[in-house]
Structure 1
Amino acid sequence: MASSSSLLFASLCIHTCFLLAWSRPATFLQDFRITWADTHIKQIQGGTAIQLILDQSSGCGFASKSQYLFGKVSMKIKLIPGDSAGTVTAFYMNSDTDTVRDELDFEFLGNRSGQPYTVQTNVYAHGKGDREQRVNLWFDPAADFHTYSILWNHYHVVFSVDEVPIRVYKNNEARGLPYPKFQPMGIYSTLWEADDWATRGGLEKIDWSKAPFYAYYKDFDIEGCPVPGPAGCPSSSANWWEKPAYQALDADQARRYRWVRLNHLIYDYCTDRSRYPVPPPECSEGI
């Protein structure tokens, strides 16, 4: 019979092997597929990065080959430089279901040269969205690559930029509010024209004389277990995210989060009385 120490060692080995297997850099060819306009997505830098192209003929998009039930997904993105008004570069999670879809959105809204880049986040839970918030980025996201992350578990969804939280959406199921908890989601990204709303509510139209427009991606990172789980994955990948470190922001993250909200938040659906004379119930939690 194995000793208790040897059983503990075996358990630690299994846990470590799981983390090594499912907390790993992803590659575009291995983990993603092109969803539309394959002529507008190109591998560059020896296949370590990709270029998305938007011109008058088409935008483009790609998606993960697998879906995930909880985890953390990160990408380094370099956005469209110069006059990008009317364009949207999006990075999001989506359950790919119709009326009851769950979705977690990063949408980077193009701008006129010299103006701040705005990132819009949105949360769909059980088919209900309209939870937009917008933050002006505090750097030029077209000058270099920056890391954009979505952490999603039983406790909250955290949108981060260079590991700085810019939005936290808490699980308030105890108050009867929907939360994206039951449907696995795939990872998606698109580059497309949206000049009817993207820049100053549609006042600034896309200038096609500046086309083609380019966005760049690299260093894909997926920490999570594909669904359905292959051998070695736990039956519920949520168990991996029960660790205390993933249940709440730590003190430094909370300080940075307050700084973003105080200095860079420019729109919050919770305070938009023209849309919501009575704030949605989750807004009382400061989400």
Structure 2
Amino acid sequence: MANYSCSGSKLGTIGQLKYISAMFMLIGLLIHAQLVSGRPATFLQDFRVTWSDSHIKQLQGGTAIQLILDQTSGCGFASNHQYLFGRISMKIKLIPGDSAGTVTAFYMNSDTDKVRDEVDFEFLGNRSGQPYTVQTNVFAQGKGDREQRINLWFDPAAEFHTYSILWNRFHVIFYVDQVPIRVFKNNEAIGVPFPMQQPMGVYSTLWEADDWATRGGLEKIDWSKAPFYAYYKDFDIEGCPVPTGRPSNCSSNLNNWWEGPAYQQLDPIQARSYRWVRLNHLIYDYCTDKSRYPAAPPECSAGI
């Protein structure tokens, strides 16, 4: 047996056994953490192509993908499972240069038509030199029309950035690089629908929408710049999976980390970051659009 030393002296037999036991315990904890925690996955572990497989290319052994938009087609993919609560995140590098008229979307959807729940990021392309706009929206029980838009404070086409959605019984939070840019609180107590019962899948698409995407449709797509490319990596889903047709206890399992006290409201640092985004980068909020809502919807005055 090897000799283990501490401060130059040999450990006794009891000390050796304690040391070895502690090491095995540490190794076990590390293995367990890798098994139960979210991890960057290969594309095919968690996703499938749903639209135009010729326009989605796997890179780096399947740990990254390239989405392609040209005049023949856009493309899309979806998760293999649906989830009821949790967190999803991906690192995305958006279309560089003149991307006007394009939309890169990353979202969750219950796929239940008229009563669907949906929470989405939509990255709206731009003319070269103009800021990229991110539109978020929330549908609950089929009711949407809750668009908010911010201009990103960096170039999202220069390198990868992390975009995440945290969804639990208390709220839906949209994050950009861990900065909360939007909070949609559970206000069912005042009659506002909230996505509580329907599991949702994870989706992404790249498509042409030049009738509305850039400056309300004033800027059209320039197909001479095609093909357009967006890149994804570090596919990370930490959620409660709901097998099709089977009951789930996801909504009542308070042991899931995303239901814990630390995730029930923004902490002071997150709240400051949230206010900074809203003050400096928010360019549209349905709550203040008097032409659409002469009286603001009730959730708009309920706080975060």
* TM-score, scaled relative to structure 1: 0.90
Structure 1 residue 17 displacement after superposition: 5.1
**Do structure 1's residue 236 and structure 2's residue 250 form an aligned pair?**
yes
Q: Which moved more, 1:220-229 or 1:142-151?
A: 220-229
1:134 aligns to what?
149
Count of aligned positions: 271
**Do structure 1's residue 110 and structure 2's residue 125 form an aligned pair?**
yes
1:144 aligns to what?
159
2:48 aligns to what?
33
Distance 1:182 1:19, change over 3 A: farther
2:291 aligns to what?
274
| TM alignment of 1:1-287, pairs within 5 A | 20-21=35-36, 23-228=38-243, 235-236=249-250, 238-239=253-254, 240=256, 241-286=258-303
Contact 1:134 1:267 in 2 (8 A): yes
Distance 1:74 1:160 in 2: 9
* TM-score, scaled relative to structure 2: 0.85
**What CA deviation, in whole Å up to 9, does each residue of 1:242-263 have, x standing for no partner?**
3101100111111100000000
Structure 1 residue 189 displacement after superposition: 0.1
SS at match of 1:259: helix
Contact 2:50 2:76 in 1 (8 A): yes
Distance 2:110 2:141 in 1: 10
**What CA deviation, in whole Å up to 9, does each residue of 1:170-224 have, x standing for no partner?**
0001112100010000000000000000000000000000000000000011111
Structure 1 residue 274 displacement after superposition: 0.7
1:6 aligns to what?
none
Structure 1 residue 44 displacement after superposition: 1.2
SS at match of 2:163: strand
Contact 2:85 2:250 in 1 (8 A): no
Contact 2:41 2:63 in 1 (8 A): no
Distance 1:177 1:147 in 2: 29
Contact 2:99 2:127 in 1 (8 A): yes
Distance 1:56 1:111, change over 3 A: same
Distance 1:29 1:20 in 2: 18
Distance 1:26 1:48, change over 3 A: closer
Amino acid in structure 2 at the alignment position of 1:236: C
Distance 1:30 1:242 in 2: 25
Distance 1:22 1:46 in 2: 22
Structure 1 residue 228 displacement after superposition: 2.7
Contact 1:102 1:124 in 2 (8 A): yes
SS at match of 2:48: strand
SS at match of 2:111: coil
Contact 1:86 1:199 in 2 (8 A): yes
Structure 1 residue 22 displacement after superposition: 5.2
Larger Rg: 2
Give percent identity, aligned residues only: 81
SS at match of 1:99: helix
Structure 1 residue 18 displacement after superposition: 8.6
Distance 2:100 2:90 in 1: 23
Distance 1:245 1:216 in 2: 32
1:7 aligns to what?
none
Structure 1 residue 19 displacement after superposition: 8.5
Distance 1:43 1:53, change over 3 A: same
